[in-house]
Structure 1
Amino acid sequence: MMVEDLLARLVAFPSVVGTPNGAIVTFIADYCRSHGATVAVLPGPEGDRCNLFATIGPRDKAGYILSGHMDVVPAGEAEWSSDPFSLRAEGDRRYGRGTTDMKGFLACVLAALPKLATSDLSQPIHLAFSYDEEAGCRGVPHLIAALPHLCKTPVGAIIGEPSRMQAVRAHKGKAAVRLEVIGRSGHSSQPHLGLNAVHAMAGVIIQAVAYGELLAKGPFDRNFEPPYSSLQVGVIAGGQAVNIIPDRCTADIEVRAVSGTLPLTLLEPVKAHLEALQTKNFRTTWRELSAYPALSLAADSPLAHLLTELTGKEALAAVSYGTEAGLYQQAGIDAIICGPGDIGRAHRPEEYITVGELHACQQMIEALGARLSG
């Protein structure tokens, strides 16, 4: 199948993050097996979602991973001019949810598979496709944990997130948490008889925002924009009606950390402020939603040199968005980002990728196969 046909098939699966993904996994597994790949479907603990790992070439040698995620963000925006789960062609552009982030890369890998399968590979090429990356890289840790049973430790991993086909050596780490304050309900005319959870959470948020402003004072890594760690309160929910004292309030907070800083440690002052409410008879909970480490690959690493040769472009030092690459590096596998599309088109209506970008990515993957042949 041609890369555009494969992209159309992949986009047609509404594999939204946090939902069952059996249909897309079955399609990819069957396609890979039809071209001689050894395939492992790896169910996650959720019970209705799976990672997929496939190998072309000698399994007893150390090779390279081509890594991507099968899930996409929801597509409920009104600005879509057509069905987001049906690929639409306009000139060189191909519109649809996930075209850039990141079913375009998956389609390129699958389109290159027939050529890889007929190559005399001296080292294997592995396909590692994960679930729920858009929920904070929840699926790939289970895949990485299974790697010792699936292959020899890979030489490197190429994570195909959209980077305009320019390799990227570093990204920030991230952690997201949900705070909950539980107070006591009552009539708003008698506030002294209740415990207002919204008011209590507001105090925690004010302190969290002030702490976030302190993060902007460093430490700095000038490879990033912005060059410092950041904190954001993204979601707040609480209360039933204006005349009822709210007994519950939740807030979702994330931090993005420069290299050398553990994301979860940045949230410790916020946790302390939350737990201090317990002295005022509130109950509190703290739940980690997601966390992944930063990526930092040396400019003189063999993997960076390889991607420069394959793409013809020098690797970019860093980006501020996050990927699964840091988790591969944490597991002892050198990792780098390189994929088709532009991150600026992701997570928005009218997401698209160009045919030229797809072809450039497929050619890069086939060039990797040629390099490993003979």
Structure 2
Amino acid sequence: MPMTLTAPEMLARLVGFPTVVGQPNGALIAFVAEYLEGHGARVHVLPGPEGDRSNIFATIGDPGVPGYILSGHVDVVPAAEPGWLADPFVLRSEGEKLIGRGAVDMKGYVAAVLSCVPALAALPLSAPVHLAISYDEENGCRGVVHMLKALPDLCATPLGAFVGEPTGMAPVLRHKGKAALRLTARGITGHSSRPDLGRNAIHALIPVLAAARELSARMAAEGPRDETFAPPYHTVQVGRMGGGEALNILPEAAWAEIEARVLPGADPEAVLAPVVATAAAQEGVSAEILAAYPALGLAEGDPLGALACALSGNAPGAPVSFGTEAGRFQAAGIPAVVCGPGDIARAHKPEEFITRPELDAACEMVMALGRHLS
């Protein structure tokens, strides 16, 4: 008999796989593939170039007809924070709360979608429902890129994608894009009493870090601006840095990581270009883009936004400054909207949770889509 699980039961299974970003996810992917195949879905396991991680693209209905994608990632951030009260990879219940790493970001949505598969498969769908399950979203939305390249061979061009990041089930039509930059400086080491005989790698980074700070201040003051976002301008920040061995040794190596978050219509890498140019002008300093993904800018009158509002029963939410895979879908020619259960403020924190009513609301939206297509 095919396996049937409620959304909380499915979430417990998914949380039990410690699919930390950048790590193998084969066990989870095998479980989900077997579950979907058991309910008659057309399942494609799509290994990424890393060799130990895969996406899944599955279809309920006729793949030759344009349909809709329900999209979610199953990688999670690490769970090493000291604030966890129990094993973060064992889902536990406290009243209406379901607590575990990934519960809200975003295995909760994936669990809701998977729990609805038996009911979706029983409907006389006039257009298909696709499930897109990706890896390494938490590291620049990398996994979905390979899935999108394969999509033309798997189905007719979809009408739209619903990306279930936590928005309180309010459809979000716009979010910022992001680029992450790593700076590396190589110096010449020696005794700190004779800096004239060496080259300080940390000092070499200072003009580049200053350029990043000046760029951030200039964008805040001069724009471009979009008052629907908070904050309403591009942002740049230095998030991590390191270097040096001891105070009395000239640092031979140093590094820093910088991110830009940009409004729709802007290229995140282009926004960082002045910082990259400053790095190129410094002796021994190199710059590398670690990851980048585009913003989402779905037009307010787009039919997908109207459909998301009708299915969720909610008005559009405000644009958000965090990023999702929706921008990747839109860049690939597939309209996308972000709409999922829970609150993003709980993500990436100890005792991360989603509630049973929030899972129920996600299930209701999935089934509303099924009824819409029947």
**TM-score bracket, shorter-length normalisation:** over 0.9
**Structure 1 residue 159 corresponds to structure 2 residue 163:** yes
What's the counterpart of residue 216 of structure 1?
220
Give the distance between the partners of 1:187 and 1:73, measured in 2 at CA: 40
**Structure 1 residue 370 corresponds to structure 2 residue 374:** no
- AA matched with 1:86: V
What is the SS of the residue equivalent to 1:245? coil
Given that residues 205 and 285 in structure 2 are in contact (C-alpha distance below 8 angstroms), is that contact kept between their aligned partners in structure 1?
no
Give the distance between the partners of 1:167 and 1:204, measured in 2 at CA: 39
- Between 1:315-324 and 1:161-170, the stretch displaced more is 315-324
What's the counterpart of residue 99 of structure 2?
95
Give the distance between the partners of 1:208 and 1:363, measured in 2 at CA: 45
Give the distance between the partners of 1:252 and 1:97, measured in 2 at CA: 26
Please list every run of 5 or more consecutive structure 1 residues that lacks an aligned counterpart in the other structure: none
Matches within 5 A, 1:290-301: 290-301=291-302
Give the distance between the partners of 1:285 and 1:206, measured in 2 at CA: 16
What is the SS of the residue equivalent to 1:80? coil
What's the counterpart of residue 268 of structure 2?
263
Give the distance between the partners of 2:276 and 2:53, measured in 1 at CA: 31
Please list every run of 5 or more consecutive structure 2 residues that lacks an aligned counterpart in the other structure: none
What's the counterpart of residue 227 of structure 1?
232
Task: Tell me which of 189, 193, 213 is aligned to 1:189.
Answer: 193
What's the counterpart of residue 316 of structure 1?
317
Given that residues 297 and 334 in structure 1 are in contact (C-alpha distance below 8 angstroms), is that contact kept between their aligned partners in structure 2?
yes
Given that residues 93 and 352 in structure 1 are in contact (C-alpha distance below 8 angstroms), is that contact kept between their aligned partners in structure 2?
yes
Deviations 1:254-298 (A, max 9, x none): 0000111111111111011111113xxxx2222111101110111
**Structure 1 residue 338 corresponds to structure 2 residue 339:** yes
**Structure 1 residue 274 corresponds to structure 2 residue 279:** yes
Q: Percent identity?
A: 54
Given that residues 204 and 285 in structure 2 are in contact (C-alpha distance below 8 angstroms), is that contact kept between their aligned partners in structure 1?
no
Task: Tell me which of 251, 258, 261 is aligned to 1:246.
Answer: 251
- Between 1:200-209 and 1:174-183, the stretch displaced more is 200-209
Give the distance between the partners of 2:35 and 2:64, measured in 1 at CA: 23
Matches within 5 A, 1:2-21: 2-21=6-25
Given that residues 221 and 259 in structure 1 are in contact (C-alpha distance below 8 angstroms), is that contact kept between their aligned partners in structure 2?
no
- AA matched with 1:52: I
Give the distance between the partners of 1:216 and 1:24, measured in 2 at CA: 43
CA RMSD between the two structures: 0.8
What's the counterpart of residue 122 of structure 2?
118
Deviating above 4 A after TM superposition, structure 1's stretches of 4 or more consecutive aligned residues are: none
Given that residues 172 and 320 in structure 1 are in contact (C-alpha distance below 8 angstroms), is that contact kept between their aligned partners in structure 2?
yes
Matches within 5 A, 1:65-84: 65-84=69-88
Deviations 1:17-61 (A, max 9, x none): 000110111111111101110100111111111111000001110
Compute the TM-score of the two structures, normalised by the length of structure 2: 0.98
Structure 1 residue 317: Cα displacement: 4.0
- Between 1:315-324 and 1:28-37, the stretch displaced more is 315-324
Given that residues 341 and 353 in structure 1 are in contact (C-alpha distance below 8 angstroms), is that contact kept between their aligned partners in structure 2?
yes
Give the distance between the partners of 1:203 and 1:304, measured in 2 at CA: 44
What is the SS of the residue equivalent to 1:344? helix
What is the SS of the residue equivalent to 1:181? strand
Give the distance between the partners of 2:66 and 2:241, measured in 1 at CA: 47
Compute the TM-score of the two structures, normalised by the length of structure 1: 0.98
What's the counterpart of residue 287 of structure 1?
288
Give the distance between the partners of 2:108 and 2:179, measured in 1 at CA: 27
